[in-house]
């Protein structure tokens, strides 16, 4: 199965509504975000990205690309935690009314998911699962690339008698050969 990369998502701006800031030490270094909070309780959202924002209220653009409902995607995360493997991603899909219509939890570095049918917007949240530190670099979103078989039809030669030729062939009539000319 092949996948086509559609987005690389990083954490460029730190806003209080998308980062857990209570008692946290956060700094950016070399393209990655270092998050440290040894007193943070488990299952708290650390970072959050959304595919839709109220620009008038937040002055922010969406960080996530739009997904096509009922299509398969793959999400790869590049991050580390101390202790190791103590974080997970949660994708929440909502419809036009803002109701959550599907959720997906990813505990590994790379996994696939299918976007639910009536998805209008979605969020991706990085949760701590008993970690003290997280070094987040990026996550990469891939779309499943469906390979369609190519059907090659055999060309059939058509021959028309000079009086039976369709009108659209009049322009190229001098170039056409008839069966009689081939035989002779």
* 128 inside domain: yes
pLDDT at site 171: 75
Cβ atoms 88, 129 nearer than 8 A: yes
Q: How confident is the model at residue 155 (pLDDT cuts 50, 70, 90)?
A: low
* 153 inside domain: no
Better-predicted residue by pLDDT, 147 or 114: 114
Better-predicted residue by pLDDT, 60 or 86: 86
Residue 62 maps to which CATH number?
Answer: 2.60.120.260
Taking 70 as the threshold, does the pLDDT of residue 158 lie above it? Answer: no
Closest by Cα among 58, 19, 24, 59 to 38? 24
* 172 inside domain: no
Domain hosting residue 12, numbered range:
2-145
CB-CB neighbours of 3 under 10 Å: 16
Buried b (16+ CB within 10 A) or exposed e, 118-152: ebbbbbbbbbbeebebbebebbbbbbeeeeeeeee
* 51 inside domain: yes
> Could you read off the pLDDT of 75-121 as tens digits, one per residue?
999 999 999 999 999 999 999 999 999 999 999 999 999 999 999 99
- Which pTM was predicted? 0.74
Taking 80 as the threshold, does the pLDDT of residue 124 lie above it? Answer: yes
- Over residues 151-179, mean pLDDT: 69
* 31 inside domain: yes
The rounded percent of the chain whose pLDDT value lies above 90 is 49
* 168 inside domain: no
- Over residues 47-67, mean pLDDT: 81
Structure tokens at 7: 């987005």
Number of domains in the chain: 1
| Residue 2 host element (H or E) | strand 2-9
């Amino acid at each position: 199965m092949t996948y086509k990369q559609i987005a690389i998502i990083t954490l460029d701006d730190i806003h209080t509504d998308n980062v857990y800031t209570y008692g946290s030490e956060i700094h950016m270094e070399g393209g990655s975000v270092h998050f440290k909070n040894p007193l943070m309780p488990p299952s708290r959202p650390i970072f959050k990205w959304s595919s839709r924002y109220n620009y008038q209220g937040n002055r922010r653009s969406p960080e996530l690309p739009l997904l096509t409902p009922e299509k398969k995607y793959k999400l790869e995360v590049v991050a580390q935690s101390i202790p190791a493997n103590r974080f997970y991603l949660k994708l929440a899909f909502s419809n036009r009314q803002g109701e959550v219509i599907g959720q997906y939890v990813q505990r590994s570095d790379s996994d696939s998911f299918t976007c639910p049918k009536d998805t209008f917007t979605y969020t991706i949240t990085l949760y701590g699962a008993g970690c003290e530190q997280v070094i987040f670099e990026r996550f990469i979103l891939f779309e499943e690339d469906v390979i369609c078989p190519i059907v090659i039809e055999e060309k059939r030669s058509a021959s028309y008698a000079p009086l039976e030729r369709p009108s659209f062939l009049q322009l190229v009539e001098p170039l056409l050969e008839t069966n009689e000319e081939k035989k002779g």
